Amino acid sequence: MATIRNPVNQNTIIDLSPALENIPFQYGQYSNSGLFAEQGITATTHMYRVKEEKNAKMTKITSRTERNAMAVDKQKEKLVTMGAISLKETGGVHVEDLIGVSSGVFNEDSTSFQQATIQELTRMANVGAANYEYLITTATQGRVLDPLDGSVAMDNFLQTGTAQTAITIDANPANSITDSLNALVNEISTLNGYNGNLGTIEVVLGEQAFNNIVNHPDFAAMYQLSFTGLGNAALQEPVINGTLGRNQRTQYGHRRTFQWDNLLFVTYPQKFQRWNGTSVSIIDTNKGWTIVDVAGLYEVKFAPAPYVSMFQSEGQRWTARSTGIINDTHTDMTLESHMIPYMKRPEMAVDITVTVV
């Protein structure tokens, strides 16, 4: 953390950004997962090309010698331009925070002052991490929502002119659930178009939706077949050994997982609290959406902070600054991020409803 002040220009700003590297953020299930490709840019807007993803259309049998070959349909392209959205928080350290605590000289170089600065920066960083995680996670659903009230701040469906697909998973114990799951996989494969084969499809679910899927008799019946002639292999089956849908402790809380074929069903481990004190979940209890790890699908651009010293420089995920001691009483601190999180093809975020009736 830089602490050298310019004796000529007392308005020199102290860069606190390196100190963020040593702060353990409390939020980051998806923002720190590597799902989004991150890049700093020098502008406050970003433009990219969207290609219409058509399914392959078969042609006719042609003559060996005549010129009756059929031209393959070309992909249509359109341009999408988006502006950065900003998060900015303020805080600071006051002399009152150190009265009765600090001994010796009260200045920017003192150990107690720097400890108080780190404590304040940690508090601000955790608030910022919650905001950032909320923005990133809602971006995987195709619409970036404002952490303050959940209003739409950026609608990738509207920007790209695409519609969101809705799928209902029938988890009624009297019906087969595999039909609904196969329909979900087929729909995502169709939406993926020319973009290659799909790997694991992550399905983020509300608690009730997760329970309804995991406890469906179809899965229990399939796993019970492992009792036949497989011996110890049966002990490794989640339904049989009682670990199906078990809570897993992660860095960001308890997460339940269950995989069937190439579908990975998960619950979201983190809860959010808005400025007015109300708690909000990232997903309704009977709902869900899909996350598909396809190259180039999720991206976030960082615009530079609006300061003279950062003009035409590449933006960073976070910018943290301090004014240094002002009026011999306090120091002001800011933490900010200017970002453009988006899905290039938001139609891959399928809206899921799980029903049992």
CATH architecture of 14-53+79-355: Alpha-Beta Complex (3.90)
pLDDT-derived band at 205, boundaries 50, 70, 90: very high
Q: Between 292 and 22, whose confidence is greater?
A: 292
Tell me how far apart the alpha carbons of residues 187 and 352 are, in angstroms, rounded to a whole number: 12
pLDDT at 220 over 50: yes
Structure tokens at 43: 């502008």
The answer to whether 286 touches 209, Cβ cutoff 8 Å, is: yes
Range with lowest mean pLDDT among 218-232, 249-263, 282-296, 297-311: 218-232
Show me where the domains of the chain are located: 14-53+79-355
Tell whether the model's pLDDT for residue 188 goes beyond 50: yes
Burial letters 117-132, b for 16+ CB under 10 A, else e? bbebbbebbebbbbbb
pLDDT band at 304 (very low <50, low <70, confident <90, very high): very high
Of residues 76 and 96, more confidence is placed in: 96
CA gap 63, 263 in Å, rounded: 44
pLDDT in tens, 33-63: 999 999 999 999 999 887 665 666 777 888 8
pLDDT recorded at residue 4: 44
* Inter-residue contact 91 to 331 (CB < 8 Å): no
> For position 337, what pLDDT does the model report?
96
- Look at residues 304, 339, 264, 314 and name the one whose alpha carbon lies nearest to residue 31: 339
pLDDT at position 65, please? 77
Return the ∠ at Cα 270 (arms to 91 and 138), rounded to 5°. 85
What is the predicted pLDDT for the residue at 236?
56
pLDDT tens readout for residues 221-238: 654 554 455 544 554 556
User: What does the pLDDT look like over 109-164, one tens digit per residue?
Assistant: 677 788 888 899 999 999 999 999 999 999 999 999 999 999 999 999 999 989 99
Residues of the chain above pLDDT 90, percent: 48
With contact defined as beta carbons under 8 Å apart, do 317 and 294 qualify? no
Mean pLDDT over 189-205 rounds to: 85
> pLDDT band at residue 103, thresholds of 50, 70 and 90?
low
Per-residue confidence at 80, pLDDT binned at 50, 70, 90? confident
Inter-residue contact 203 to 290 (CB < 8 Å): yes
